[in-house]
Amino acid sequence: MIIAERKPIDEILEFLSRYQKVLVLGCGGCVTVCLAGGEKEVGILSSELAMARSKEGRPVELVQKTVERQCDFEYLEGIRHLVKEVDAVLSLACGIGIQTCNEAFPDKNTWPGVNTRFLGVNLNVGEWAERCQACGQCILDKTGGICPVARCSKSIFNGPCGGSQNGKCEVSPDTDCAWALIHDRLTRLGQVDSLREIMPLKDWSYSRDGGPRKLVREDLELESGK
C-alpha cells in the first residue's frame, strides 16, 4: 500500500492561514490503513488545527469528511456540494488523491496534509518499510522475491556491493542489505547459482525515467470513453 505521514503542523497551518472555512478530507484507502489520513486522523487533525487557530485568535471553521477513495473521481463527485461551501480543501490522501481533488475541483485549492512516503508494508504497529518502486518491469522472479530496485540503497542488479556487512547496508545499521537477503533466500531455495549470471542493464524507460506513465487497456475501454 501507499505509506504516508502527516506533514509538520506548521506547514499545514501556513497553507491554511488565509482561509476561514476548510474541508479536511480523509481517504478510506491506504492512508486509513497506515494511520495517516483516515476518518480518525481527520478528526484529530481538525481538532488540533481548530485549537491552534483559536490560540492565534483567528478561528477557523472545519468541515470533516472522509471518502471511500480520493483517487477515484466518482467518489469525489459525492462531495462536490461540500467543497462548494468552503474556501479550500486540506486533503489527507496520498499524492494521487490530492491531485485527483485538485483536478476534480479546479476552482479551489486542495492542499497536501501528508507527505506521501513510499510503497510499502506494515511491519509492526507504527513501523512501515518500502517494498516497491513501481519501476514498471518486475524482476522479483530473478531475485528470490526481494526487490533490489526498492530495497538496495543503490538499486544495483548484481549485488551486494562492498558495503554489505553482517547482512546490513552501509547506509544504516537499521537497513537490511537487500542483496544479502536475496542471496540468503536463493540459498535457502537451492537456487543461489542463478546469481552467477550477470543481470543485464535495466530498461528504465518503463520506470519514471521514461516520462510520466500511462496505462491504457483497450480491452477494458467502453465505447462512451468512460
Partner 1 sequence: MSVQADFQPKIVVFACENSGWLAAEHAAELGLTYPEKVELIKLPCSGKIDVLYFMKALEKTDGTMILACQQENCKFIKGNVRAAQRVKQTQNLLKEIGIEEDRVGIFYLAANMGHKFAEIVQNFYDRIRELGPNPGKVIK
Partner 2 sequence: MKAGSNLERMLESGNFAVTGEIGPPKSCNGEVVRHHARMLKGYCESFNLTDNQTAIVRLSSIAAGKLLLEEGCEPNIQIVCRDRNRIGIQSDVLGAAALGIKNVLCLSGDHQKFGNHPTAKNVYDVDSIQLIKILDGMRNGYFANGEEMKDELPKLYIGCAANPFADPFEFRVTRLEKKADAGADFCQTQCILDMERFERWMELVRARGLHKRIKILAGITPMKSVKAAKYMKKFVAGMMVSDDIIERLEKAEDVKEEGVNIAVEQIQYLKKMEGIAGVHIMAIAWEDIIPEICKRAGLTPRPEV
Site residues (vs partner 1, CB under 8 A): 8-10, 40, 43-44, 47-48, 50-52, 54-55, 59
Contact by Cβ (8 Å): 190, 182: no
Contact code string over 22-51 relative to partner 2, x by CB under 8 A? ------------------------------
Exposure on the CB side of residue 28, measured as CA atoms within 13 A: 8
| Strand arrangement, sheet containing 114-124 | 2-6, 114-124, 127-132
Rounded to the nearest 5°, which phi and psi values hold at 21? -140, 125
Tell me the CB-side half-sphere exposure of residue 191, using CA atoms within 13 A: 10
* β-strand pairing of 114-124 with 2-6: antiparallel
Of 49 and 147, CB closest to partner 1: 49
Residue 153, contacted partner among partner 1, partner 2, none, CB below 5-8 A by kind: partner 2
**Could you say which of partner 1, partner 2, none residue 129 binds, taking C-beta under 5 to 8 angstroms by partner kind?**
none
In this structure, are residues 64 and 47 in contact, taking their beta carbons and an 8 Å threshold?
no
Q: What values do phi and psi take at 89, rounded to 5? A: -120, 140
200 binds, options partner 2, partner 1, none, Cβ within 5 to 8 A by partner type: partner 2
Q: Which of 148, 109, 122 is nearest to 14 (CA)?
A: 109
201 binds partner 2 (CB under 8 A): yes
Point out which span in 17-25, 87-95, 115-123, 163-171 binds partner 2 (CB under 8 A). 163-171
Q: Does 211 bind partner 2 (CB under 8 A)?
A: no
- Count CB atoms within 10 A of the CB of residue 165: 12
162 lies in the binding site for partner 2 (CB under 8 A): yes
**Among residues 36 and 149, whose Cβ is nearest to partner 2?**
149
Residue 48 interaction partner, one of partner 1, partner 2, none, beta carbon < 5-8 Å per kind: partner 1
Virtual torsion, Cα 18, 20, 21, 24, nearest 10 deg: 50
Return the one option of partner 1, partner 2, none that residue 126 interacts with (CB less than 5 to 8 A, by type).
none
Q: Kindly tell me which residue out of 161, 176, 185, 206 binds partner 2, with binding defined by CB under 8 A.
A: 161
Let me know: does 67 contact 79? Beta carbons within 8 Å. Answer: yes
Indicate which of partner 2, partner 1, none lies near residue 55 (CB less than 5 to 8 Å, by partner kind).
partner 1
* Minimum distance of partner 2 from residue 100's CB (angstroms): 26
Q: Note the residues at the interface with partner 2 (CB under 8 A).
A: 153-172, 177, 180, 183-184, 192, 195-196, 198-202, 204
